[in-house]
Chain A
Amino acid sequence: DAMVIQNPRYQVTQFGKPVTLSCSQTLNHNVMYWYQQKSSQAPKLLFHYYDKDFNNEADTPDNFQSRRPNTSFCFLDIRSPGLGDAAMYLCATSRDYSGANVLTFGAGSRLTVL
């Protein structure tokens, strides 16, 4: 089945210790998104790629970086995690921007910061 796969599902890190979360997709979609979702809140868009074009949200902290080495993979790097970065991180894809932008989400990576 075509899908969006995130690894790891659960990540525990120490305050200030860098973390990388990965996302892979078999949908061959052009757009890949990273969302941050804190408990009982709506997903908040951090940034997205259209192919190799990177689009950062204005309020995304510099502590968050992303890489997309090819169509299938996208990574979220948190350079120095703080306690406030504990959240579920959701990767999503969409075919493109035209028409209704249907997002396909992965199951998420839950980050705990000690």
Chain B
Amino acid sequence: QQQVKQSPQSLIVQKGGISIINCAYENTAFDYFPWYQQFPGKGPALLIAIRPDVSEKKEGRFTISFNKSAKQFSLHIMDSQPGDSATYFCAAQIQGAQKLVFGQGTRLTINP
């Protein structure tokens, strides 16, 4: 119930391509869905987040698509660049609750 399942575990995309990472959840009480980006040797940093009252949120090349009925959300990176190579974690939270539940992470590699 408290899990967030993330796929794929690793992803290789050519420069300029679209990177897509998917997450699914079970707990319908979750109402805040952030994505964190982590570079090697660094802590995760908030990239973009969405609430379930909207189906899509876009910030620059990064877009979250949210499907409430399917309990799924995904991160799309348009025009992927080598600098986007990092590990991406989706997460979910009940707003006002103490705990953020992380997905297992996706290691993204963008080939030049």
| Chain A residues at the B interface, C-beta cutoff of 8 Å | 4, 40-43, 45, 48, 50, 55, 90, 92, 97-108
Q: Is A42 a contact of B105 with CB atoms below 8 Å?
A: yes
Q: Is A107 a contact of B89 with CB atoms below 8 Å?
A: no
A-B contact list, 22 entries, CB within 8 Å: A40-B107, A42-B89, A42-B102, A43-B102, A45-B100, A48-B98, A50-B98, A92-B43, A97-B98, A98-B95, A99-B96, A101-B32, A102-B49, A103-B44, A103-B100, A104-B46, A105-B43, A107-B41, A107-B42, A108-B41, A108-B42, A108-B43
Q: Is A98 a contact of B105 with CB atoms below 8 Å?
A: no
**Interface residues on chain B, size class:** 20 to 34
Provide the bound-state CA to CA distance between A48 and B72, in Å: 28
Provide the bound-state CA to CA distance between A102 and B105, in Å: 18
Closest 4 CB pairs of A and B: A105-B43, A42-B102, A100-B32, A105-B44
Interface of B is mostly: loop
Provide the bound-state CA to CA distance between A50 and B97, in Å: 12
Interface of A is mostly: loop
Provide the bound-state CA to CA distance between A99 and B51, in Å: 11
CB neighbours of A105 from chain B (8 A): 43-45
CB neighbours of A48 from chain B (8 A): 98
Q: Knowing A107-B41, A107-B43 touch, does A101 contact B95 (C-beta < 8 A)?
A: yes
Q: With an 8 A cutoff between CB atoms, is B52 at the interface?
A: no
Using CB atoms, name the residue of chain B closest to A44. Answer: B102
CB neighbours of A100 from chain B (8 A): 32, 34, 49, 51, 93, 95
Provide the bound-state CA to CA distance between A42 and B88, in Å: 10
Provide the bound-state CA to CA distance between A105 and B45, in Å: 7
Using CB atoms, name the residue of chain B closest to A100. Answer: B32
